[in-house]
Structure formats: structure tokens, C-alpha cells
Structure 1
Amino acid sequence: MQPTPATDAQPAHATPDQALLQHVWALIDEKKNIFCDLSDRIWETPEVNYTEFKSSQAHLQLLKQQGFRVTEGLADLPTAMMGEAGEGGPVIAILGEYDALPGLSQQADIAEPVALQAGANGHGCGHNMLGSAALLAATAVKDYLAANGLPGRVRYYGCPAEEGGSAKGFMVRAGVFADVDVALCWHPGAFNCVMDANSLACNEINYHFHGRAAHASSTPHLGRSALDAVELMNVGINYLREHMPSSARIHYAITDSGGFSPNVVQAHATVRYLVRTRTLPELLSLLKRVDNVAAGAALMTETTMQRHILSGDANLIGNRVLETLMQSHLEQLGGPGFNDADYAYAARFQQTMNQEEIGSAYQRVGLPAKQGEMLCDYVLPLDRPESSMLGSTDVGSVSWVVPTVQARIATYTIGTPGHSWQLVAQGKSSLAHKGLIHAAKLMASTTMDLFTQPELIAQAKAEHASKLAATPFINPIPDDVQPPFPGSH
């Protein structure tokens, strides 16, 4: 059942030091149970963006227990934090997340949709594992630096609200990464690979329309319908789709329809738009066109319009130096080491997925679909065909100010849709635990190579500066925009 490892990509530098790898991996194995328990506890208390109070406290307490110097409320975000260890030398950041998604409550290990609590939250993107593995990696690096008397500072950044809140963009704006030399991150997935730097820049914007109420039957001529303005804006945007770049995406949701009575002309209505493009310059250009459509809808209905940016992400900036380094460490690790029980577990869940979902999983990593493959226990090559299936991440904003590299590590069955009950159900499984431990080993050993080979940091910074020379960073979150805390806007 287990495929042959793929080894097409060759590292451009020396093979990682084996003694260092074994020592770092052993440090992770010593404490892995503590952090698997952390992941399970975060899974059990799923909290959506900017409400991760229990989840952030659990990470905060463990940072303190492990001896980090802790900064709470980072960037004035109540559920953000930073833990630092070490002295002098370079500063390497390992990024963690712990926010969940609304409406995805699901019982663990059950291969059918059974909510723990109807309508409640669930970890449908695996961020319970993401933060736990990042903190485990940072802890192992801290312990290695201390045991060997090496200079260098490792930081764990607890980053809330990746799902729709763009917290890292606010953190970038506050300058919390200003002295960081390199940033590392990972994400749970179906495959083991260094992530390609493909994502979409985006802004999430509320368009508020204000009109005049009136009796819809006796005096309709006195009314100015804000709901009409919302509907006309949506029609205009749907016509715009034909005339925008094919890689761009525009989504919307009516968040305020103005009331429930059809016999009243709606005096207020709001539509929320999410606009995505390949690059920040493309985003700024397309946003102007969306704004023009909104202004036209207001003009046609004699209403007024107010535009309010909620959040935004930059597109990812890749770094070949760091990607090649991380690939060499991933090839040293191999796969997570799934066993027969894991394959049997995965088979139950894959039976709930159709062929389109399974094929889509391969498309996302630029590979042709394989029949009968349930788990990835091998390493994908670094150079793969580019995927056309793109999302957005606030890690993109970090990548514009710090050389950044990310991995995907297998933690669930191939074909599992993102943001699904199936993903939530597998979040406390052996697959999840093996994957998060594997991710921690990858990030920790890659980090230690950077500390012991500072010339790699210099090369990564030079590449980063070269890529930004033609297009300076413009944060998609303007200075006057506040984080979209629950109940705001």
C-alpha cells in the first residue's frame, strides 16, 4: 500500500549534519506527548478568529512552562503572543495558529457527519495541530541551543485569526517581525512537501448602503432602497467577472438585507466582498473597479455608500534558498511512518469522498491522481507543476517583510476536503499526531541548519531583497483599519 518515495529534487547544498538531526529529533520525541495533548485540547475547545481565549491561554501556559520569555497581547491583539529563547545571534521565527471555523462541530474518528453540538465550531483546517507542532519545534530548538551553548534566538509567534481575520497582516503592520531574520511555518495536509509560493492577495470589504425608508405600497416613490443598491452591485460584479484576470476571484455575502418586511423599502443594507488576485498590484487595480461598481449602484438608487476594509492578505513571496534547505531536511525525514492501522483508518474516511474530491487533492499539489492511494507516506519533489487551485493566507504578508518558507505535512486522508467535517473528525487521530510530530522535526532541524550555517540566512535575505526590489510591499490593511473583532462592523 505504501508508495515509493519521490526523490527528483536535489538539494543545492550539503546534506544536513546527521548528528545534529538526530539530536534535534530526539529532543522532539522526548516531549511529543505533551504537544500532542496540547493539539487535542485545542481541538476540544474550537474558537473562531479573535475569540481564541482558551486556545491562546493553553499555548501561553506551555510557553511559560518550557521556559520561554513571553510577550502577551502582541500587536494589541488579545489572543496573540510571542515566546523567545536564546541570546544573541540570528532571530528565527516559527509561526503557529490555533483558530477554528464556524459550524463544523464533529465527533472525532466517526466517518459520518455527527456534530458534537449542532452549529458549533470545529477545527476544519487543522490549526489545532499547526500551533502545537510549531511550538514543539520552537521548544526543541530552544533546548538544543541551551544544551550546546550556541548563540541565536528562536521565537514562537502565536498568531490568531488566520481564517478571515488576517492577524499576521496586523502584526506585520505593528512591526513585530522587524528584527526577524527568517520565518518558518507549516500546514496540515494530505501530502508531504515544501509548499510552493502560490497564493492570492486579498481584501475583505464591507459595502454599506444607506437609503430612505418608505411604505412599499402606498408611497414607494419616497423610498430609496439600500437593498436595491446591494443587488445592483452584485449584478455589476457578476458582469465584471468576464473582464478580470482569470486567476482573480470575487466572492460575496449579504450580511444585512435591511429587514424582514417586504412592505418596507429597506433603508440600510450591507454586502461583504472578498476580492482576490495573484499580486498586490493586481489587487489594487481590481479593487478600484469593484469600488466603481459599488459607486454606480449607489448612483442608480440615489443611496449613499460607505466602504470599510475588514482585513487583507498579501500574496506569498517564495524563497528558493529556504525551500531547497527545507526540502533537503524533508528528504532526510521521509514520510511520517504510517502503519497498517493508519491505512485502515484512512480507508474508512476515503469511502466518504468522491473521485472529484480525491482528484482535487492531487491537483492542489500539481500531481496526477493515483488510484487506491489513501495516505502519503513519501516526499513530493520540490519542482512540481504549478497548481491552479489557490487560496489566500496571512502568511503572505509576513513573506514580504521576512524571508519565509512553509511545508505541508500529511495529517489526514487523501481526498479530505478542506474546511470539512471529515477533516475535523481526523483531527485527534494517529494520523494527526504523527503528522504534527513530523512537522515539528522538519521545522526544528531546518531552523538549526540556519543557526549553524548563517551564510544560508544571508543568501535567503539577498534573494528576498532582489525579489522585492521591483515591487515594494504595500500592506493590504490600511493604517486606520482595526482588527475585525467579534461583533464589530
Structure 2
Amino acid sequence: MSKYIWDHPETRFVEFESAKYLADTLEAEGFKVERNVAGISTAFVGTFGEGAPYIGFLGEFDALSGLSQKADVTECESLEGDDVGHGCGHNLLGTGALSSAFAVKAYMEEKSLPGTIQFFGCPGEEGGSGKTFMTRDGIFDHLDIALTWHPSTVNAVMSLSSLANYQVYFRFKGVTSHAAISPHLGRSALDAVELMNVGVNYLREHVIPEARMHYAVTNTGGFSPNVVQADAEVLYLIRAPKVSEVDEIYKRVCKIAEGAALMTETNLTIVFDKACSNYIPNRALEEILFDKLVEVGPGESSEADKTFAKGIWNSLSEVEQDSSVDLMKGFGYSGDGTEFEGKYLCETISPYVATDGILPGSTDVADVSWVVPTAQCTVSTSAIGTQLHTWQMVAQGINSFAHSGMLRAGEAMALTAIQILEDPELLGPIKAEHALKLAKTPYVCPIPEGVKPSGLRS
């Protein structure tokens, strides 16, 4: 299944092949499948059992543009066809979560256990916040717990928070004119985009250090320099540790855009695309997941795996190699990296250490964590030093070490679910912890009503 999804990489909200394949497989395994969930054609839910406890497994399967890459090679080498690839390992993520659902179903049938397990097919994580849209529609509200994982270079529990974000289009409309004969009659939308970007770059000095502002110019107004560009657009992704902080920065960015429109006498349209919250860990659930990860073990790698991993390591820049431990810490690793000296694959499990640290990235799992107690683990599926969203990540996506890690993640999540099913009283402290956090800050979905999921624009 992982290889099929890797072979059919699809970007956000157009994962038609992958979603159908996963949903059809759920049905074949005896799950009742609901498709087109939350009005999203590639979102679906597979359900088995009835009654409490309600346990959900979150699966992703979208890929990234610009990352076409051959498998099992140690140099950048694109495939022919669409320039899309699984640079974040979601072919592994969704399949691993599905393996958990299948394993728990089999166990429930064997032991005649009551309860309900569900696999949530969650599209559009990469730049789409599919789970946030699903959360807005109440898709996860009934769950007692949710479990998921992410491929990486280390084995650990992902106990960190994450950055909330807004993604917003700023569209400028001007007036065309001959750039030489009558430039004074034109009003350049491209000038407005450039002025806005300059303004935001000056703003960077005056926001909190944890904030991030990224942009992509998605419309430059055409390819004719002798025409004053009447249409131009820039897409901004604004991040900060809390939604309230993102919102504050967003309002300042809007003022800069309005200023750019005034300076160029162009009209501005602001289109909210998507958003996600910051992730809130649940320590009581994480402790159970960690115990099961230890029970499963770190796995062993073959000599062929080690040789391939060494080749990947050698393809990395010196800066990437030097930042390999920092990358692991972003996934919950708590050591100093000394155990990896002279090694190219992680074959240990990092001790569980609850932390107030923040992963300097974003995930729509965060919004699920606000409405239901959620825990995530990470399992080593790639060579030490492998950065996400790179050709190296794609190249390792279907090798034996990646698939071994995927199944270990599935086993750890399945064992966690089984323990909850066999001892539902464990939900007491898990839910109490979750309720305490929400009592201080109730959840508000960061995506306004009326905003709909959007596919990747080329």
C-alpha cells in the first residue's frame, strides 16, 4: 500500500488515487466507509465496532510539488512526468496508521472487545490544513482519543507544541498601459506586490522571535515587461506559537498590503486560504504511547540499509549534517546525539521527556488535539540528517528500513489503543488533562466559516 501511494503522488485535495485506494482497502477489510467527509472529496472515515471507547487513527497521504525523485538512489534524479513526490513520508504515515486500525480490529474480533475504532483519511496536510476543515465540521468531536505518527530520523514521542498559522492571498488589481509610451497611465499591481514584500521584510525585526513569515509570488502579471502589470498576487504563510499571535501579525501584514495598494493606486483583495492551531500535547496519553513504543523496540537495520543510509548521509551538505541532532530534537529527541557518532541510522528510542518546547513547523493535527486528547510518535524511517521536504526523503520512502519503521509505528499505536480498550478507566486522567487545558483557553477554529479547501495552484 505504501508503495502504491508513493507511486501515485498527489498534492493537497486532489489525492484521488490514494484516497480511493485506502478507502477501498478499508471496505475490503470490513470497515464501514463514509466518503466525501466535511465536503472534501478526498476525505473519508472507516469505522469498525460500536459504542465506547471511540479511538481514532489519523492518516495522511498527500505529496509535495517540486519533489519528483527516483527511489533507492543516493543522488538527485527526477522521474519523468509530474514533478510531485512524497517528501514528507505521507505514503508511510497513512499506511502505518491504517495498519494500526487493521491490527486493533483483528484483536477486537478475537477478544470480543466492545468499542469503536476509526481510520480518518485526512487529505491536504501540506499547505491545506485538511484536518482543520474537518475539525471545523465536528468530524472528531465524538472521539475519546486520537493517535497518529510521523516518519523521521529518530524514534521518540512527539511531545512538543507546534506553530499556528494563517495562509492568505493578497491580490492587487491595477491598470495596464504601454510601459514606454504611456507608463504614467498604468498602475502596477506587481509594484504593489514588491512594495508589500519589502514592507513585510522590515516587519520581521518587530515581531516575536518565534514568528515566521513566508511568501510566494503566485502571479507576476504576465511575461511582457513592456506592459504595466495590472494583476499580481502574493501568498503569505504567517506562523507563531499561538493563534492569537498569528492573528496580531496578520493584521499588521494586512496594513502593509493596504499601504502598498495606496502607494501604487491599485485595488487590494485579501482572500483567507487556510489556517491551523498550535498542537497541545496530552502527557497522560503520551506516557502510554511511549511505553508501547519501547515495547515494540527500535528495530534493527540490515547491512544493505546501513550502506544505503551512508550514501544518503554523504549526499547531505556539511550544514545539514551538523544540524542532524537539532532536527531530531524537533521531533522529541532528548539526547545530545553522542549515540549516533559513526552511525547513519537510529536504532535507539529516545527517553520520554515532557517539554514546553515548540516544533518550528506546523501541523493540522494540532486542531484535532484541541477537540480530543491526541498523541503522536515518530519512528526512524530515513538516514540520520535527512531533512523533510527534500529529494533524499523521497528517495528513501519505500526502502525496507522505511517500511520496517512504518510497521513499528503502527504496532505502537495499535498497542496503545488496545490498552485503552481493555482498560477504559485510563481515559480518566487523559480526559481530565485535556479538559483542564481547554478550560483556560477554549478552542476556536482558526478557519472562518465560508472558507473552503483549495488545491495547490500551479
TM-score by length of 1: 0.89
Q: Tell me the equivalent position of 1:419.
A: 389
Deviation at 1:368, TM superposition (A): 2.9
Deviation at 1:112, TM superposition (A): 0.9
Q: How far apart, in 2, do the equivalents of 1:120 and 1:236 lie?
A: 33
Deviation at 1:361, TM superposition (A): 2.7
Q: Tell me the equivalent position of 2:4.
A: 41
- Partner residue of 1:334 out of 291, 297, 300: 297
Q: Tell me the equivalent position of 1:372.
A: 342
- Partner residue of 1:106 out of 62, 69, 74: 69
Q: How far apart, in 1, do the equivalents of 2:372 and 2:255 lie?
A: 34
Where do residues 25-104 of structure 1 align in structure 2 (5 Å cutoff)? 38-104=1-67
Q: Tell me the equivalent position of 2:219.
A: 256
Q: Tell me the equivalent position of 2:228.
A: 265
Where do residues 16-415 of structure 1 align in structure 2 (5 Å cutoff)? 38-117=1-80, 120-366=83-329, 367-370=335-338, 371-383=341-353, 390-415=360-385
Q: How far apart, in 2, do the equivalents of 1:118 and 1:59 lie?
A: 23
**Native 8 Å contact 1:209 1:298 kept in 2:** yes
Deviation at 1:389, TM superposition (A): 5.5
**Native 8 Å contact 1:52 1:98 kept in 2:** yes
**Native 8 Å contact 1:201 1:315 kept in 2:** yes
The residue identity in structure 2 corresponding to 1:286 is I
TM-score by length of 2: 0.95
Where do residues 5-24 of structure 1 align in structure 2 (5 Å cutoff)? none
Q: How many residues align?
A: 451
Q: Tell me the equivalent position of 1:449.
A: 419
SS in 1 for 2:85: coil
Q: Tell me the equivalent position of 1:22.
A: none
The residue identity in structure 2 corresponding to 1:375 is L
The residue identity in structure 2 corresponding to 1:61 is D
Deviation at 1:485, TM superposition (A): 2.9
Deviation at 1:438, TM superposition (A): 0.2
Deviation at 1:345, TM superposition (A): 2.2
Q: Tell me the equivalent position of 2:429.
A: 459
Q: How far apart, in 2, do the equivalents of 1:466 and 1:385 lie?
A: 17
Unaligned 5+ segments in structure 2 are 330-334
Q: Tell me the equivalent position of 1:35.
A: none
Q: Tell me the equivalent position of 1:438.
A: 408
**Native 8 Å contact 1:342 1:430 kept in 2:** yes
Q: How far apart, in 1, do the equivalents of 2:164 and 2:99 lie?
A: 30
The residue identity in structure 1 corresponding to 2:447 is I
Q: How far apart, in 1, do the equivalents of 2:358 and 2:117 lie?
A: 35
SS in 1 for 2:84: coil
RMSD: 1.6
Q: How far apart, in 1, do the equivalents of 2:343 and 2:456 lie?
A: 41
Deviation at 1:369, TM superposition (A): 3.8
The residue identity in structure 2 corresponding to 1:356 is V
**Native 8 Å contact 1:254 1:272 kept in 2:** yes
The residue identity in structure 2 corresponding to 1:116 is L
The residue identity in structure 2 corresponding to 1:420 is T
**Native 8 Å contact 2:241 2:358 kept in 1:** no
SS in 2 for 1:408: strand
The residue identity in structure 2 corresponding to 1:282 is E
- 1:109-168 alpha-carbon deviations (Å, 9 max, x no partner): 111111121652111111101111101100111111111111110000011111111110
- 1:430-468 alpha-carbon deviations (Å, 9 max, x no partner): 111100110110000001111122222221111111112
Deviation at 1:269, TM superposition (A): 0.7
The residue identity in structure 2 corresponding to 1:210 is K
**Native 8 Å contact 2:153 2:328 kept in 1:** no
Q: Tell me the equivalent position of 2:332.
A: none
Q: How far apart, in 1, do the equivalents of 2:324 and 2:274 lie?
A: 28
SS in 2 for 1:413: coil
**Native 8 Å contact 1:359 1:369 kept in 2:** no
